[in-house]
Amino acid sequence: MALPPMPAFSPEERAQPGLLSVVLPAFNEAANLAWLLPELTRQLAGVARQLELLVVDDGSKDDTVLLVHSLIQQGLPVRLLRLSRNFGKEAALTAGLDAAEGDVVLTMDSDGQHPIATVMQMLPAWREGFDVVYGVQTGRRESQSAARRGYTKFFYWLMQRDSRFELPSDAGDFRLLDRRVVLALRSLPERARYMKGLFAWVGFKSKAIEFVPDARAHGETTFDFMRLMSLAVVGLTAFSKVPLRMVSMLGFVVSIASGVFGCWIILEKALFGNPISGFATLAASITFLAGVQLLCLGIIAEYLGRVFDEVKQRPLYLVQELTPPLDAPEEV
**Crossing angle between the packed helical segments 279-312 and 242-267, to the nearest 10 degrees:** 160
Full-model pTM:
0.72
* 41 and 131 both lie in a single domain: yes
Confidence bin at 330 (pLDDT 50/70/90)? very low
Q: Give the pLDDT confidence of 141-154 residue by residue, as tens digits.
A: 555 567 666 666 66
The mean pLDDT of 90-108, rounded to a whole number, is 88
In a domain, 322, yes or no: no
More confident residue, 125 or 301: 125
Contact 35, 2 (CB under 8 A): no
In a domain, 130, yes or no: yes
Range of the domain at 166: 11-224
> Based on the structure, what is the number of domains in the chain?
2
* 259 and 112 both lie in a single domain: no
Does the pLDDT at position 238 exceed 70?
A: no
In a domain, 52, yes or no: yes
Q: How many helices (H) and strands (E) does the chain have?
A: 11, 8
CATH code of the domain covering residue 39: 3.90.550.10
Residues pairing with 52 in the sheet = 21
* 159 and 261 both lie in a single domain: no
* 203 and 270 both lie in a single domain: no
The reported pLDDT for the residue numbered 307 is: 77
Does the pLDDT at position 226 exceed 70?
A: no
Which residues make Cβ contacts (< 8 Å) with residue 99, sequence separation at least 6? 54, 56, 79, 81, 322
More confident residue, 260 or 142: 260
More confident residue, 214 or 27: 27
Does the pLDDT at position 24 exceed 70?
A: yes
In a domain, 230, yes or no: no
* 184 and 275 both lie in a single domain: no
Confidence bin at 331 (pLDDT 50/70/90)? very low
Percent of the chain residues topping a pLDDT of 90: 2
Contact 181, 100 (CB under 8 A): no
Cα–Cα distance measured from residue 259 to residue 247, given in angstroms and rounded to the nearest whole number: 18
Confidence bin at 329 (pLDDT 50/70/90)? very low
